[in-house]
Structure 1
Amino acid sequence: MNKIGKVVAINISEKKGVVKKPIEQGLFIEEHGLEGDAHAGKWHRQVSLLAQESIDKMKKSGVEGLSVGKFAENITTEGIVLYELPVGTRLKIGITIQEVTQIGKECHGGCEIRRLVGDCVMPREGIFTRVIQGGVIKPGDIIEVLGDN
């Protein structure tokens, strides 16, 4: 498995259940998540990650107009098969350290993506982390799989 990847985009939204918009950089706060994001807080799904490869898979299946943040992911990645990482795996993303807490999720009924597209890869291929060590992350930053704690 590839142990090195990179950040393609940082995405944010003020409300849950909507697509996220790309931003130039994000401040990830220890035990909280992305500053200003609706999903941040003291719980196990502080940050969501989805690989560009998963988005490309959806594009190949004929889905139009997909871009970063459309699946409501905070960090769009490239180069690592995220959903194969075991829970407990630590990732060094830029200067932050994050721990994988969940692979995939239940898709909520009002999912904008599923309604528009008919399918959503986030429940199968997205992952969630909690922030162990905070810092600023920006597109182009390196992601390194550190292993589990």
Structure 2
Amino acid sequence: MAKVLAVNISHEKGVIKKPVEKGVFLENFGLEEDAHAGEWHRQVSLLGQESVDKIKALGIENLEAGIFAENILTEGIVLYELPVGTRLRVGETIQEVTQIGKKCHHGCEIFQKVGDCVMPREGIFTRVIQGGTVKAGDSIEIIED
């Protein structure tokens, strides 16, 4: 079963996000108070623990939730294999996949601290179709048409 491991937030772009108890996700906006929220296609970022584990396997330690600036850390779903347009029920929200990976901006705190960033390769981005709260332990389901 796919689930949420952590919800993370930051007030600035390009920095490590900090875990919060629960996130409030607003329709067509994203995670309330997060630097990446807004009326655009990359409102929410998701990354799988499985992707983080690949970086850990390279010998890099202290990789906690939010280190790759992901809003939602997941487990049990291969996010980067989901087609753009896939709808997910994440906690109380419905989110639609809008982009797989991204170009990493040079000099970001994540790359400087970790030495590699898996987000450009395996992170995904969504827009919020239906708002609600998301917290660690919530299930993630693919919504079939």
Do the structures match in fold with TM over 0.5?
Answer: yes
Name the CA distance, whole Å, in 1 between partners of 2:36 and 2:113.
22
Is 1:30 paired with 2:27? Answer: yes
Query: What is the CA RMSD across the aligned residues, in angstroms?
Result: 0.9
Distance 1:28 1:52 in 2: 21
Aligned position for 2:100: 103
Q: Are 1:114 and 2:115 counterparts?
A: no
Distance 1:106 1:141 in 2: 29
**Runs of 4+ residues over 6 Å off in structure 1:** none
* Runs of 5+ consecutive residues of structure 1 not aligned to the other structure: none
- Of 122, 125, 131, 1:125 maps to 122
Q: Partner of 1:136 in structure 2?
A: 133
The two structures have a TM-score, normalised by structure 1, of: 0.94
Aligned residues: 145
Aligned identity (percent) is: 71
Contact map agreement 2:46 2:73 (CA 8 A) in 1: yes
Cα pair 2:14 2:110 within 8 Å, conserved: no
Which residue in the other structure is 2:7 paired with?
10
Of 60-69 and 21-30, deviating more is: 60-69
Name stretches of at least 5 consecutive residues in structure 2 with no aligned partner: none
